[in-house]
Amino acid sequence: MLDIKVLRQEPQWAKDKLAARGIDGVEIDEVLALDTQRRGVIGQTEDLKAKRNKVSDEIAAKKRAKEDASDQIAAMRTVGQDIAKLDATLKDLDDKIRYILVRLPNFPADGVPMSLNEDDSREEYKWGERPTFDFTPKAHYEIGEALGILDFERAAKVSGSRFVYYKGAGARLERAVYNFFLDEHAKEGYTEMLTPYLVNDDSMFGTGQFPKFTEDVYSINNEDQEETLIPTAEVPLVNYYRDEIIPSEKLPISFTALSPAFRSEAGSAGRDTRGLIRMHQFNKVEMVKFCKPEDSWHELDNLIHDAEDLLQKLGLAYHVITLASGDASFTSAKTNDLEVWLPAQDRYREISSCSNCTDFQARRAQIKYRDENGKPQFVHTLNGSGLAVGRAVAAILENYQNADGTVTIPEVLVPYMGGQTVIAAED
């Protein structure tokens, strides 16, 4: 959530920033007009409340002295009615302001390409050698199905499209990959977490998915209680400290967690219909950081580095891009995507998204620390995939495929595969 004070004090700056995210300036004008009204009403109602408090003291004093106070009581009855009326107006204004405010995205940070077109995302650098093949490389789903380690058909029977069974060495490979990721993050000082996979609406609001993106997730209604399947471990990890003041000496805090991520993929019908790229349920190792505002840009670099390190150790070619303002997620001030090379698609595909959310989530989720003056301030939150596991498996299958249809296991994963160095057809 944005600080309305910033909108109030720097309206033109805010409009320019949000225009690059597709927000109409009319909304800003509207929220500022409501804010002006609101402050006017607050002044009136608080004056009346001050008066009521004062007279109530007098009434109390008279009652104690066994004197008659019926005049004041009668007068206060009217005041009470006026207050009730003004408070109702105020609540209405608050609701209207909040409705707009919670739907405004974060301001893009300096240095972010200011464009609504995702093609204006900027490539920062490339790493690694793309593999060359003396045969036509197959897509990972073809390889996986041929080896009998991925089964999309039976998953479709049991669950529907965009689900998969990993089988045998495939399941083992998935496990090898995420164990490798978690172990590497542990070495970098991340605290490993296992989180709830069902969260409440307050949590979904805190990380910015609600109220705007309810159609992207799976929600479960039980009686009058609503829970949502997490679309990313970012939700339970960031909300871990919701409504808390973190002791400043604990910062920065780094969490990592493996979890399934559940996404409805509404609106992406027809895109990436085959393979592991776009699933309703996929595994992801997530990294989340909480830090002081002055450290967040440095921590974003650390986050990107920690994600890159995994790809480098796996020997997978990738590049790093800075997303254009219009393409970054709702909560993000700046997002750097890591895109891994997929030979069969002959292009880079997102495998990690690292974002600095500045104080945007912290304000929603009320996550603070005490500054040197002891005053509570919002922390900055960051999140990044480290990495998407299914897409990593897809990348391994495609980049490490051999002419005979087998797949070589990347060296760092061999210990995690119990010494197995090659996946060949099993059945």
Where along the sequence are the contacts to RNA (CB under 7 A)? 4-5, 39, 42-43, 45-47, 49-50, 52-57, 59-60, 63-64, 73, 76-77, 79-80, 91, 224-225, 245, 366, 373, 375-376
Q: 280-308 in b/e burial notation, b at 16+ Cβ within 10 A?
A: bbbbbbbbbbbbbeebbbebbebbbebbb
Whole-angstrom distance, CA of residue 415 vs CA of residue 392: 17
- Catalytic pick from 21, 263, 363, 364? 263
Which residues fall within 8 angstroms of residue 203, CB to CB, at 6 or more apart? Answer: 235, 236, 239, 242
Minimum distance, C-beta of residue 177 to RNA, in the bound complex (Å): 26
Whole-angstrom distance, CA of residue 341 vs CA of residue 123: 14
Minimum distance, C-beta of residue 330 to RNA, in the bound complex (Å): 21
Which of 347, 328, 326 is CA-nearest to residue 336? 328
Please say which residue, 199 or 277, places its beta carbon nearer to RNA.
199
Whole-angstrom distance, CA of residue 262 vs CA of residue 280: 5
Minimum distance, C-beta of residue 85 to RNA, in the bound complex (Å): 12
401: which DSSP letter? B
Please say which residue, 39 or 250, places its beta carbon nearer to RNA.
39
Dihedral-angle region of residue 300 (phi above 0 means left; psi in -120 to 50 means alpha; beta otherwise): alpha
Minimum distance, C-beta of residue 71 to RNA, in the bound complex (Å): 11
Please say which residue, 248 or 402, places its beta carbon nearer to RNA.
248
Look up residue 173 and give its amino acid: L
**Is 77 designated active site?**
no
**Is 192 designated active site?**
no
Please say which residue, 5 or 187, places its beta carbon nearer to RNA.
5
- Catalytic pick from 52, 130, 278, 370? 278
**Is 278 designated active site?**
yes
Helix boundaries (H) for 148-287: 152-158, 169-187, 201-206, 234-239
Minimum distance, C-beta of residue 35 to RNA, in the bound complex (Å): 7
- Catalytic pick from 254, 353, 355, 385? 353
Please say which residue, 61 or 116, places its beta carbon nearer to RNA.
61
Query: What positions carry a catalytic annotation?
Result: 263, 278, 350, 353, 391
